[in-house]
């Protein structure tokens, strides 16, 4: 059997972004862990890479904070834990999205400023 | 679950428990990881990989043990109370448990005194009647419960320590406290001065004075400690054997 190295994770993914992405995805529909990871991968066009198993501590943490709720559902003979967003989770998503938007704008401004500076010199 | 990739799950479980993650969170995490692994393997097989290749690819996608363990351990809210506050859990907790057990013993004695010996000055005196009469069985059961309470509490503490892979030092501290409390506990019972009044039952913890008392107390404490520690010691020895095998 060929040895396979674990995929390289994007470290930035772990800095509050997983919560944002998960809440955003689950706002649309309830999903189980595997579906969430596949949705993140396909929607980010595989830019965001993560060891897939690490999504569960984030899900459990959000559930414990009251941002998510879970229920066990049997689909095609398999019992799965589906997660969905609570009212508190929706509020959290608004706050996280706002904070992330501000940060992204600030970084964009910085990058634009550096380019201008380089053009002047 | 463990049959899916036997070498990864036990290692991850041990690492999480030793890091202080509560067993119920560990159980749920591993259960969801096993489901996820099954989905990943099926996906890889649909993509045309052989069983072994699909399994290797699924493992790689799921993440390394280090990464999976770190993600869970970093979430501090998943830590058990035994890991968060071991001094309280193993210093104060066992004493409270044993105090509660003794309170129940006193309640049991008081109830039996009222029902079976309503006129007696003490429930500890000689009783007439067959060895098999209800009163005798009742009081004998209470006596054994009282004697066994420290050992039972010790077993409970041992179970907790084993489940959460705690350091033996906390378990030892708890058992020493239980042994001390169990060896020095005394129940006293007397009837109040009011005729027909309720019996009065109290507990105290004596300080051994005479040499005979000290020796007796130490032997009693040693017996409680040994019996309470026995299941945990056997478990540790089995763990050692399993690891060296």
pLDDT values of chain B reduced to their tens digit, one per residue, 245 residues: 444 555 678 889 999 999 999 999 999 999 999 999 999 999 999 989 888 899 999 988 898 899 899 999 988 899 998 888 888 888 899 999 999 999 999 899 888 888 887 777 777 766 666 666 888 888 889 989 999 999 999 999 999 899 888 888 888 999 999 999 998 888 877 776 555 566 677 777 777 666 667 888 889 999 999 999 999 999 888 887 766 66
Give residue B2's pLDDT.
41
Contact A6 B64 (CB under 8 A): yes
Q: Residue B102: which domain range?
A: 82-244
Interstrand relation of B185-191 and B199-205 (parallel, antiparallel or unpaired): antiparallel
The residue among B61, B69, B65, B66 whose CA lies nearest residue B36 is B61
Are B67 and A9 an interchain contact pair (Cβ–Cβ within 8 Å)? yes
Whether residues A4 and B36 touch (CB distance < 8 A) is answered with no
Best of A57, A72, A80 to disrupt the B interface (most B CBs within 10 Å) is A57
Q: Are residues B148 and B174 in the same domain?
A: yes
Q: Is A99 inside a domain boundary?
A: yes
B25 and B104 within one domain: no
Instruction: Evaluate whether residue A61 is within a structural domain.
Output: yes
Which B residues 117-156 touch A at CB under 8 Å?
Answer: none
Residue A20 forms contact with B (CB below 8 Å)? no
Strands (E) across B34-145 are located at: none
B19 contact residues in A (CB cutoff 8 A): none
Binary contact (B77, A61; C-beta < 8 A): yes
Distance CA A108, CA A49 (A): 22
β-pair partners for B205: B185
Tell me which residue in B29, B55, B61 faces A56 most closely, judged by beta carbons. Answer: B29
Q: Assess B71–A contact: CB distance below 8 Å, yes or no.
A: yes
**Domain termination site, one of B78, B105, B122:** B78
Residue A8 · residue A27 · CB < 8 Å = no
Q: Is the CB of residue B59 less than 8 Å away from at least one CB of chain A?
A: yes
Of B78, B101, B136, which marks where a domain is finished?
A: B78
Q: Is residue B2 part of a domain?
A: no
Q: Is residue A63 part of a domain?
A: yes
Q: Are residues B137 and B153 in the same domain?
A: yes
A9–B60 C-beta distance less than 8 A: no
Higher local confidence (pLDDT), B79 or A12? B79
**Do B122 and B22 belong to one domain?**
no
For residue A115, being part of any structural domain is answered with yes
Closest to B153 measured CA to CA, from B242, B90, B238, B237 = B90
DSSP reduced 3-state for B142: helix
**B4: in domain:** no
Residue B1 falls within a domain, yes or no? no
A15-24, A64-73, B68-77, B112-121: which has the minimum mean pLDDT? B112-121
pLDDT band at A13 (very low <50, low <70, confident <90, very high): very low
Inter-chain touch A6–B25, beta carbons under 8 Å: no
| Whether residue B71 is found in the same domain as residue B90 | no
Residues with Cβ within 8 Å of residue B124, at least 6 apart in sequence: B189
- Does B215 fall in a domain? yes
Q: What is the pLDDT of residue B24?
A: 93
Length of chain A: 121
Q: Which of B66, B37, B70, B83 is nearest to A57 (CA)?
A: B70
Specify whether B206 is located in the same domain as B95.
yes
Same domain, B53 and B88: no
Instruction: For residue A72, give its domain range.
Output: 11-120
Structure confidence at residue B37 (pLDDT): 92
Rounded distance between C-alpha atoms, residue B101 and residue B155, angstroms: 14
B17 and B122 share one domain: no
Report the number of distinct structural domains present in chain B. 2
Q: Count the domains in chain A.
A: 1
End-of-domain residue from the set B36, B56, B78: B78
What pLDDT is recorded for position A3? 47
Please answer whether residues B189 and B201 qualify as being in contact, where contact means their C-beta atoms are separated by less than 8 angstroms: yes
Q: Are residues B19 and B87 in the same domain?
A: no
Same domain, B109 and B219: yes
Residues B121 and B181 in one domain: yes
DSSP state of A68: E
For residue B86, the distance in angstroms to the closest alpha carbon of chain A comes to 23
Query: Which two tokens mark B135?
Result: 């009163």
Alpha-carbon span B171 to B41, nearest angstrom = 42
Do residues B26 and B118 both lie within one domain? no
Question: Using the beta-carbon criterion (under 8 Å), do B68 and A1 form an inter-chain contact?
Answer: no
Tell me how many residue pairs between chain A and chain B have CB atoms under 8 A apart.
81
- Continuous H helices in A2-86: 17-28, 33-43, 55-64
CATH number of A47's domain: 1.10.10.10
Which residue from A5, A51, A80 is facing B62, i.e. has the nearest CB?
A51
């Amino acid at each position: 059997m060929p040895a396979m190295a674990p995929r390289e994770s994007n470290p930035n993914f772990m800095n509050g972004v997983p919560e944002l992405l998960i809440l955003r995805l689950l706002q649309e529909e309830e999903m189980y862990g595997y579906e969430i990871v596949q949705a993140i991968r396909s929607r980010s066009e595989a830019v965001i890479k993560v060891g897939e198993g690490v999504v569960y501590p984030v899900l459990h943490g959000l559930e414990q904070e009251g941002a998510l709720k879970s229920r066990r559902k049997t689909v095609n003979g398999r019992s799965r834990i589906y997660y969905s967003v609570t009212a508190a989770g929706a509020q959290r998503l608004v706050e996280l999205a706002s904070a992330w938007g501000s940060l992204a704008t600030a970084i964009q401004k910085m990058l634009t400023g550096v380019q201008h500076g380089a053009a002047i010199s | 679950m463990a049959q899916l990739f036997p070498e990864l799950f036990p290692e991850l479980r041990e690492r999480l428990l030793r890091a202080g993650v509560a067993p119920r969170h560990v159980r749920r995490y591993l259960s969801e990881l096993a489901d996820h692994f099954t989905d990943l393997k099926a996906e890889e097989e649909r993509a045309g990989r052989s069983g072994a290749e699909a399994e290797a690819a699924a493992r790689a996608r799921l993440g390394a043990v280090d990464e999976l363990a770190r993600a869970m351990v970093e979430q501090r809210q998943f830590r058990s109370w035994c890991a968060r506050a071991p001094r309280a859990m193993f210093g104060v907790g066992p004493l409270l448990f044993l105090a509660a057990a003794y309170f129940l013993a006193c309640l049991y004695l008081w109830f039996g005194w009222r029902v079976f010996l309503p006129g007696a000055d003490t429930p500890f005196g000689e009783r007439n009647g067959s060895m098999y009469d209800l009163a005798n069985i009742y009081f004998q059961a209470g006596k054994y419960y009282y004697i066994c309470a420290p050992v039972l509490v010790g077993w409970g503490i041992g179970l907790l320590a084993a489940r959460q892979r705690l350091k033996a030092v906390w378990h030892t501290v708890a058992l020493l406290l239980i042994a001390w409390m169990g060896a020095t506990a005394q129940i006293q019972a007397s009837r109040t001065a009011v005729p027909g009044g309720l019996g009065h039952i109290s507990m105290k913890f004596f300080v051994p004075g005479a040499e005979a008392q000290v020796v007796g107390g130490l032997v009693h404490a040693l017996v409680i400690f040994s019996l309470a520690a026995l299941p945990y010691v056997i478990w540790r020895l089995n763990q050692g054997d399993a690891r060296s095998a």
